[in-house]
């Protein structure tokens, strides 16, 4: 797979063809890729809410009413929309669930390896909770790693995509009852197929030159 071509071809879609739906097999593959996104010390501090019905997308679009109304069509006309959510705390229950899953998946040669992994992960959590005091921000950074995974995956499947930060997170949290579940919404991702009216599809991609963004030691 030519990942450079994928990166150059993908762009932020501004308008979707509301008549086109992503095949179920394609969305299933993308979600499985998303589930396998990397995260620091395999902390996986995320949850993904997937809307693929008119009713579901309308619920997400409520968070764009008012000042973010320009993003409403990108949600309503897309085939699927994913709300990327981050934990509001790194709980004991979550840490135990991750450790048990690693055990189930054969990650540990023995009890010592299991204990070492648990200690290392807790060390990073405590570092961000108590010393750096940026636990929420650290967990959100892991969620953005998942967003990057999904964007490249969408391009690989020939899908168009739009990451959306322009929405009312508080309103969406209330609509979905996220905070009661221990999560908060961070970013939305619309997925589907571009409309012929999407002006951005024909514009050239623009990035700073390699000489500016790379330093070689």
φ, ψ (nearest 5 deg) of residue 133: 55, 40
φ, ψ (nearest 5 deg) of residue 184: -140, 145
Measured from the Cβ of residue 177, the count of other Cβ atoms closer than 10 Å reads 9
Catalytic choice (14, 32, 57, 102): 14
**Helix residue ranges per DSSP H, 65-197:** 72-76, 92-104, 111-126, 135-156, 169-176
- Three-state DSSP class for residue 17: coil
Cα–Cα nearest to 161, from 10, 56, 36 = 10
What is the Cα–Cα distance from 192 to 74, expressed in whole angstroms?
10
What is the Cα–Cα distance from 149 to 144, expressed in whole angstroms?
9
DSSP one-letter code for 65: S
Distances (CA, A) of 193 to 59, 147, 196, 214: 21, 18, 10, 33
Specify whether 14 is catalytic. Answer: yes
Catalytic choice (8, 65, 133, 165): 165
Catalytic choice (21, 74, 140, 141): 74
Catalytic residues: 14, 74, 165
């Amino acid at each position: 797979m030519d990942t450079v071509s994928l990166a150059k071809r993908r762009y932020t879609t501004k308008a979707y063809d509301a008549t086109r739906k992503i095949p179920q097999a394609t969305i299933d593959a993308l979600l499985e890729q998303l589930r396998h996104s990397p995260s620091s010390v395999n902390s996986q501090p995320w949850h993904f809410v997937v809307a693929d019905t008119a009713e579901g997308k309308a619920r997400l679009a409520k968070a764009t009413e008012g000042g973010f109304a320009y993003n409403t069509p990108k949600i309503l006309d897309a085939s699927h929309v994913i709300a990327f959510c981050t934990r509001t705390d790194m709980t004991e229950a979550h840490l135990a669930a991750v450790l048990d899953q690693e055990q189930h998946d054969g990650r540990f040669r023995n009890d010592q390896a299991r204990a070492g992994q648990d200690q290392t992960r807790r060390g990073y959590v405590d570092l961000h909770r108590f010393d750096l005091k940026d636990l929420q921000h650290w967990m959100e950074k892991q969620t953005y790693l998942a967003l990057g995974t999904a964007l490249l995956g969408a391009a690989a499947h020939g899908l168009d995509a739009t990451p959306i930060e322009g929405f009312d997170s508080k309103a969406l949290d209330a609509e979905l009852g996220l905070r009661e579940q221990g999560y908060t919404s961070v970013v939305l991702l619309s997925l589907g197929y571009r409309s012929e009216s999407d002006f951005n599809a024909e514009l050239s991609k623009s990035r700073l030159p390699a000489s500016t963004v790379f330093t070689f030691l």
